[in-house]
Structure 1
Amino acid sequence: METLFWVCFLIGIVYTVAVVIFGDALAGALDASLEWLQLDNLPVLQPLTLISGLTIFGGSGIVLLNFSLLSMALVITFALVIAVIGVIIVYFVYIKPMANAENSTGYSIFDLVGKEAQVVVPIPSNGYGEVIVKTAGGISNHTAASYDQVEIVGDQSVVVIEVKEGVLFVSPLSLD
């Protein structure tokens, strides 16, 4: 049984070291590999909490087995209880606050479809100009072309209709 505790503990340690070295790619791979469990209804059971629970189970099992006079059944029971308490602590102290703190200023260019923009460089009927669009990260400049193939003068409000090959196709915004 001590071997099981050591394996659980070492898996957690190796995973932690690998995530520190290889970053989020490995964490994303674990997320994808555990997707079949469909843990959406149980937010406490995320890959990070499962790995931390496995590590805590192994570590507490090793300590209890070697430094207590408890029977094997009690060692396993206490190790499981300690692991569950550890998972709950990890979730509420680290994972949940970090998930709430995530705020990305990044966006996809395709998210701009339907957004209002301002022409800063006039757009000829069959050419390119430039628009600025307000995004979560601030103001962003983009190459633009006329969706309707009409000339659009500078300082005019437009709406982004579609995005093709990194170019925003815009149409004049009329409030009528």
Structure 2
Amino acid sequence: MQTLYLGCLALGVIFAVVSVLVGDLIGNALDGVFDLVSFDFLNPTVLAGGITVFGGAGVLLTRYSGLEDGAILALSLLIAAFMAVLLFLAVIKPMDKSEVSTGFSMQDLPGRIGEITVPVPATGYGEVMVRFGAGNSLHTAASFEQLSLPAGSKVVVIEVREGVALVSEFEERKGADV
């Protein structure tokens, strides 16, 4: 039994190390493969954590308790199940509700409303601040109509060319239904 416990413990440690080192590569390669079996509690982190705790509990109980093999096996399974549920409820479930990424693409800019932070001259460059999620991002901006735009102006991004946001003054229509 000691070999089983040590094997589970080693498997869990190896899984953790591999996940840290190449987890993103494996995740991208297998993207969507396991979507058919999408039970939340079958999360690989929960399963690997449960197997690791099972192995660790088995090793510790074998070495430091006077219990028999059957009792150690049952107790190790109970501890592993409890820790897997705790891991799921305390870590995995709250992480599912969190923001996935603060990243964005320049192709996401057109149509976004922003504010000029550095004045944009008629034929030059300035800077626009655009809100993405909970944060703001600053981008080089040029006037779409070749009009100067002062700092503080509300603008809309019309398009992105060569990494420069082409903006136009944002005019809110008063009394119009949106």
When normalised by structure 1's length, the TM-score is 0.69
* Residue type of the alignment partner of 1:153: L
Change (3 A) 1:105 1:15: closer
Change (3 A) 1:30 1:7: farther
The aligned counterpart of 1:4 is 4
1:109 CA drift (Å):
4.7
Residue in structure 1 matching 2:46, options 43, 46, 49: 49
Instruction: Determine helix, strand or coil for the equivalent of 1:44.
Output: helix
Point out the structure with the larger helix share: 1
Structure 2 distance, partners of 1:34, 1:69, is 44
**Stretches of structure 2 lacking an aligned partner (at least 5 in a row):** 174-178
The aligned counterpart of 1:96 is 93
Does 2:146 match 1:150?
yes
Structure 2 distance, partners of 1:39, 1:86, is 26
When normalised by structure 2's length, the TM-score is 0.68
Instruction: Determine helix, strand or coil for the equivalent of 1:84.
Output: helix
Change (3 A) 1:50 1:29: farther
The aligned counterpart of 1:28 is 24
Structure 1 distance, partners of 2:131, 2:32, is 35
1:5 CA drift (Å):
2.5
Change (3 A) 1:64 1:35: farther
Does the Cα contact within 8 Å between 2:120 and 2:143 map onto a contact in 1? no
Change (3 A) 1:165 1:87: farther
1:49 CA drift (Å):
1.2
Structure 2 distance, partners of 1:76, 1:61, is 7
* Residue type of the alignment partner of 2:7: V
* Residue type of the alignment partner of 1:69: E
**Stretches of structure 1 lacking an aligned partner (at least 5 in a row):** none
Change (3 A) 1:34 1:144: closer
Q: RMSD of the TM alignment (CA)?
A: 3.5
* Residue type of the alignment partner of 1:3: T
Change (3 A) 1:31 1:75: farther
Instruction: Determine helix, strand or coil for the equivalent of 2:33.
Output: helix
The aligned counterpart of 1:69 is 68
Change (3 A) 1:87 1:121: same
Structure 2 distance, partners of 1:88, 1:10, is 21
Equivalent residue pairs, number? 167
Instruction: Determine helix, strand or coil for the equivalent of 2:89.
Output: helix
Structure 1 distance, partners of 2:37, 2:27, is 12
Structure 1 distance, partners of 2:84, 2:32, is 19
